[in-house]
C-alpha cells in the first residue's frame, strides 16, 4: 500500500477533530484569505507560527506529512524561477545565470511561502475532518442557496476528496514499482514522467468508474437524513480568534 497520507483523514481525539465542521471550515477560509492578503514578513511569520501550533495540536504525524511535502518542491522551484526572471529589479551580480533579480527572488520566496501555508491549512482541514462530516458541512452551507441541489454538490466535493488521495496512492505505488524494477535511475526526466503519467491516467479513470458503479449498486440517493450540528464554546472561541487574526492582517 502507498504511504502518502498528506490528503487523508487521520482519526484522532484532538480539539480540531471534535470541532464543529462548519466553524472549522470558516476558520480555515479566514486563514487562507489572510495568507493571500498578507504581504509583509511579520504577518506571514505570525500566521506560520499559528498554523504550526495548530498542526502540532491536531495530533497528525507532522514528520511524515512534512516529508511528503517534498513532492511540491518542484512546483515551488518553478515559481521562484519564474518570479526571478519576470519581476524587474536589481540584477544578481556574479551569478552564472543572467536575468535574475533580487526583487524577483524575494517575490518568488514570498509566493512559495504562501503556497506552503495554504498547503498546511489544507492538511489540517482534510486530516481532521472526516469525509462524511465534510460533505454535511458543504450541504449545510449550500442549503439556503436557491436553484442549487446541495446534496449533489456536496457529493461531488466528497468524491473529489476521495479520488485525490487515491491518485497520490497510485503515484506512490507506481514509484515503488519503478524503483523495484530499477527504473528510478533513469537520468532523462522526460522519460521518467512519461513512464509515470501514461499508466497513471488509465488507473485514475478506472478508479472513477469503480466508484460510480459502487454508488449505483448501493442505490445512492440524494434524499437522506440531514446532519444536526452543535457548536461548543471552544468552537466559538476559535472562530473569534481566527477573526481577530484576519482583521489584524487585513487592516
| The pLDDT of residue 187 is above 70 | no
**pLDDT number for residue 183:** 64
- What values do phi and psi take at 231, rounded to 5? -85, 135
C-alpha cell at 24: 472549522
| The pLDDT of residue 182 is above 50 | yes
pLDDT-derived band at 184, boundaries 50, 70, 90 = low
pLDDT in tens, 52-86: 999 888 888 887 777 777 777 888 888 888 888 88
Concatenated DSSP letters of 29-49: HHHHHHHHH--SHHHHHHHHH
pLDDT-derived band at 185, boundaries 50, 70, 90 = low
C-alpha cell at 137: 458541512
Q: Tell me if the pTM is above 0.85.
A: no
Stretch 143-170: mean pLDDT: 81
| The pLDDT of residue 4 is above 50 | no
The set of residues, in sequence order, having a beta carbon less than 8 Å from that of 27 and lying 6+ positions away, is 238, 239, 242
Q: Reduced to 3 states, what is the DSSP secondary structure of residue 60?
A: coil
**pLDDT number for residue 1:** 39
Q: Give residue limits of the domains in the chain.
A: 7-144+229-251, 150-221
Give percent of the chain above pLDDT 90: 17
C-alpha cell at 109: 520566496
Averaged confidence pLDDT in the chain: 83
pLDDT-derived band at 134, boundaries 50, 70, 90 = confident
Amino acid at each position: 500500500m502507498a504511504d502518502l497520507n498528506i490528503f487523508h483523514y487521520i482519526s484522532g481525539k484532538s480539539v480540531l477533530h471534535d470541532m464543529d465542521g462548519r466553524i472549522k471550515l470558516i476558520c480555515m477560509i479566514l486563514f487562507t484569505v489572510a495568507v493571500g492578503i498578507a504581504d509583509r514578513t511579520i504577518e506571514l511569520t505570525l500566521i506560520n507560527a499559528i498554523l504550526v501550533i495548530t498542526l502540532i495540536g491536531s495530533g497528525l504525524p507532522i514528520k511524515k506529512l512534512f516529508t511528503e511535502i517534498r513532492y511540491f518542491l518542484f512546483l515551488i522551484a518553478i515559481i521562484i524561477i519564474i518570479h526571478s526572471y519576470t519581476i524587474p529589479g536589481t540584477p544578481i551580480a556574479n551569478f552564472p545565470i543572467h536575468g535574475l533579480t533580487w526583487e524577483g527572488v524575494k517575490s518568488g520566496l514570498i509566493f512559495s511561502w504562501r503556497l506552503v501555508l495554504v498547503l498546511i491549512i489544507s492538511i489540517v482541514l482534510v486530516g481532521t475532518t472526516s469525509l462524511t462530516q465534510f460533505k454535511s458541512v458543504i450541504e449545510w452551507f449550500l442549503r439556503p442557496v436557491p436553484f442549487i441541489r446541495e446534496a449533489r454538490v456536496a457529493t461531488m466535493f466528497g468524491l473529489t476528496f476521495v479520488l485525490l488521495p487515491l491518485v497520490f496512492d497510485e503515484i506512490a505505488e507506481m514509484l515503488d514499482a519503478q524503483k523495484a524494477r530499477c527504473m528510478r535511475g533513469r537520468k532523462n526526466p522526460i522519460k521518467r514522467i512519461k513512464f509515470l503519467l501514461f499508466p497513471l491516467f488509465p488507473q485514475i479513470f478506472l478508479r472513477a468508474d469503480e466508484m460510480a458503479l459502487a454508488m449505483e449498486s448501493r442505490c445512492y440517493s440524494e434524499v437522506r437524513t440531514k446532519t444536526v450540528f452543535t457548536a461548543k464554546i471552544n468552537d466559538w472561541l476559535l472562530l473569534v480568534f481566527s477573526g481577530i487574526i484576519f482583521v489584524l492582517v487585513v487592516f
